[in-house]
Amino acid sequence: MSTPSSTAPEPLDPTRPAAVTAPAEAAPAPQRETAAADRSGAGGGLAARTNAEAETAAGADDAAQASGRTAEELARAAERKAAALLAPPAPARLGDVVPAPERVEPDASGDYLLSVDAVIRVSADPAAVAVAGQLAALLRPATGYPLPVADTTAPVPAGGIALVLTDEVALGAEGYRLDIGTDGVRIAAGTAAGLFHGVQTLRQLLPAAVESATPVTERWVLPGGSILDRPRYPHRGAMLDVARHFFGVTDVLRVIDHLARYKLNRLHLHLTDDQGWRIAIDSWPRLATVGGAGAVGDAPGGYYTRADYRRIMAYAADRHITVIPEIDLPGHTNAALTAYGELAPDRVAPPPYTGTEVGFSYVDPASERTYDFVADVLGEIAALTPGRWLHIGGDEAFKVPAEVYAGFVDRTQRIVAGLGRDVIGWHQIAPASHCDGRILQWWGTTGDDPVTAEAVRRGARLILSPGNHAYLDMKYAPDTPIGHDWAGLIDVRRAYDWDPATHLVGVPAEAVLGVEAPLWTESVTTLAEIEYMLLPRLPAIAELGWSPRSTHDWDSFRRRLAQHGPRWATAGIAYHRSPELPWSAPAMPVPAPRRPSPSGDPLEHPPVSPSSDPPVRPGTAPGQE
């Protein structure tokens, strides 16, 4: 990065108390406590229970009189109870995974105990070997075991974990099979991505203490049985807005880790907006140096150098995640215009913008210079981006007349096609012409839009990010300290309870490529705040994207998801302790409430009830919603 990273930006409101400590600075104490507390029968838990048993014994005579049982009988019962509490913890249930696996066949007699001399064996394929290395790196810190990685053909003792590439076509591009028995664990997949997803499942089946960064005394037991698992949709993503507030490379890498845990495979980076341009473009250098200088509320700006951006691409690719860069056009371009006034309709560079209004800026669609700019920028981004998609934004260009707008999008789509990439745009690009591979990203709140349905009939496919279910910048509840509510409040249940296949009227299930959860960052200023908004809702969107509809069950989901609280706490990840989930671990600190934002912020409205119809966003033009 060339300008300060935002890992510790100034709070937007200087009177606001500091937000939750960023995980890098998170005190280790709660992590250790959580790990200990979560191991039934160990550490503090043991002490507490022993005291409880002592109390039971002391009161035994009274109780004996009351129950009619002898004191000796009660003492023996208390002893049995104590023994049960001291017994090793039962392993997780095989199906206790988020997102829910397609098929689960538990085998109570097949629990596997990872031992200090276990070896990880892997097919001799560089991508598979890399996954084995990732598995070892996941397990070594908490277990303290050496876990060497060996070729499947190497003569090593049985009883370890094998990662095997197979030609089982049924597993598809991302599926895996996990078999756990007393004498070993095997993950089989057709691809390294499938092995990687299998590793994420295995990680969740180990005790929560596996998230500890330092060795923990634990019985590392995996529940016996088999899982067959494949994703429902090929596109399972999250979006991070690095334009409203800038987040440095290490923050983005950490978000990628969160995606990987939940088998998400796309990170959409919203790289440009009115408040900041966040990617260096060699042919238009002032975009980043001038356009990247600011952020909402005068927070520090910043941008990614080409090396930074490549680092993000590589880190994501190692986790089988494709990055989709977005250059938002023709609107949301004030930052670009501050750097190059020649792109503005009046050829005058506007001042930097640090507010949160939308829809006022646009590059001149009537100027040839604008198309030079679009071609240069998208050309450089395409050259840096290994993935197949370029996102051209297209939202909220309120000041551009409809026909001119459609012409601009047509031409920009042709530029993307000329670069050999497939175009994605917010669903406002629907009226433009069809082109091969065209994808619309739905962010409306109504579930019904004839213009989008018509574009689908002409061949477009859809990513679903309904504002009233998947927008993770919406508040959880009226008292959520950060976030908006223009699309309603989104608690975990609201994030979970919808079906991508039937969500949009007039759009057949086959046109849906998947789901994506956007996190806009007008009010989100730190990594901890990002995590607080993502967790626990991101796993809800991940489950919609991955799991077969037949597994969809709120009660099951909330129970499985609550088990992740101790995992996040142990890993030092901030999250919202949503009252809807049956948490068992101690709370993490949450971002401190802010004072109400200054009046005039178009994104701040009185809270609406989650059950009422969400209001249409103010300033949304007809046909743009």
Interaction of residue 537 with ligand TNX, rule CB under 6 A: no
CA 571 to chain centre: 15
Span between the terminal Cα atoms of the chain, in Å:
36
Handedness of CA 325, 328, 329, 335 (dihedral sign): negative
Measure the CA–CA gap between 487 and 445, rounded to whole angstroms.
7
CB 426, min distance to ligand TNX, A? 4
CB 447, min distance to ligand TNX, A? 16
Convert residues 18-57 into a mask of x (bound to ligand TNX by CB under 6 A) and - (unbound): ----------------------------------------
Convert residues 376-395 into a mask of x (bound to ligand TNX by CB under 6 A) and - (unbound): -------------------x
Q: Are 327 and 273 in contact (CB under 8 A)?
A: no
**Buried/exposed 312-341: b ≥16 CB within 10 Å, e otherwise:** bbebbebbbbbbbbbbbbbbbbbbbbbbbe
Strand 161-165 versus strand 120-122 pairing type: parallel
**CA diameter of the chain:** 95
Measure the CA–CA gap between 209 and 385, rounded to whole angstroms.
36
Question: 117's torsion region: left (phi>0), alpha (psi -120 to 50) or beta?
Answer: alpha
- Which residue lies nearer to ligand TNX by CB, 471 or 568? 471
Neighbouring CB atoms inside 10 A of 44's CB total 11
Closest CA to 296 of 241, 249, 339: 241
Residue 138 phi, psi (nearest 5) = -70, -40
Closest CA to 32 of 586, 536, 532: 586
Active-site annotation holds for 403: no
CB 273, min distance to ligand TNX, A? 7
Interaction of residue 443 with ligand TNX, rule CB under 6 A: yes
DSSP state of 620: P
CB 275, min distance to ligand TNX, A? 10
- Which residue lies nearer to ligand TNX by CB, 147 or 455? 455
Measure the CA–CA gap between 222 and 93, rounded to whole angstroms.
9
- Which residue lies nearer to ligand TNX by CB, 231 or 331? 331
Q: Show the 3-state SS of 252-296.
A: HHHHHHHHHHCCCCEEEEECEECCEECECCCCCCHHHHCCCCCCH
- Which residue lies nearer to ligand TNX by CB, 305 or 597? 597
Residue 340 phi, psi (nearest 5) = -135, 85
Using CB under 6 A, which residues numbered 446 to 485 contact ligand TNX?
A: 471, 473, 484
Give Cβ neighbours of residue 78 (< 8 Å, ≥ 6 apart): 53, 56, 57, 60
Q: Are 271 and 243 in contact (CB under 8 A)?
A: yes
Handedness of CA 365, 370, 372, 377 (dihedral sign): negative
Using CB under 6 A, which residues numbered 567 to 606 contact ligand TNX?
A: 603
Measure the CA–CA gap between 529 and 526, rounded to whole angstroms.
5
* Site size for ligand TNX (CB under 6 A): 11
- Which residue lies nearer to ligand TNX by CB, 461 or 484? 484
Closest CA to 516 of 452, 461, 562, 571: 461
- Among the options 174, 218, 396, 543, which is catalytic? 396
Measure the CA–CA gap between 369 and 398, rounded to whole angstroms.
21
- Residue listed under structure tokens 């277990």: 143
- Which residue lies nearer to ligand TNX by CB, 396 or 529? 396
Cβ neighbourhood burial of 75 (10 Å; 0-12, 13-18, 19+)? middle
CB 530, min distance to ligand TNX, A? 14
Using CB under 6 A, which residues numbered 514 to 533 contact ligand TNX?
A: 520, 522
- Which residue lies nearer to ligand TNX by CB, 162 or 517? 517
Q: Which of 174, 251, 396, 543 binds ligand TNX (CB under 6 A)?
A: 396
- Which residue lies nearer to ligand TNX by CB, 251 or 522? 522
Using CB under 6 A, which residues numbered 119 to 158 contact ligand TNX?
A: none
Interaction of residue 358 with ligand TNX, rule CB under 6 A: yes
Q: Which of 426, 496, 546, 583 binds ligand TNX (CB under 6 A)?
A: 426
DSSP class per residue in 462-476:
EEE--HHHH-TTB-S
For the annotated catalytic residues, the residue numbers are: 396
| Positions that interact with ligand TNX (CB under 6 A) | 358, 395-396, 426, 443, 471, 473, 484, 520, 522, 603
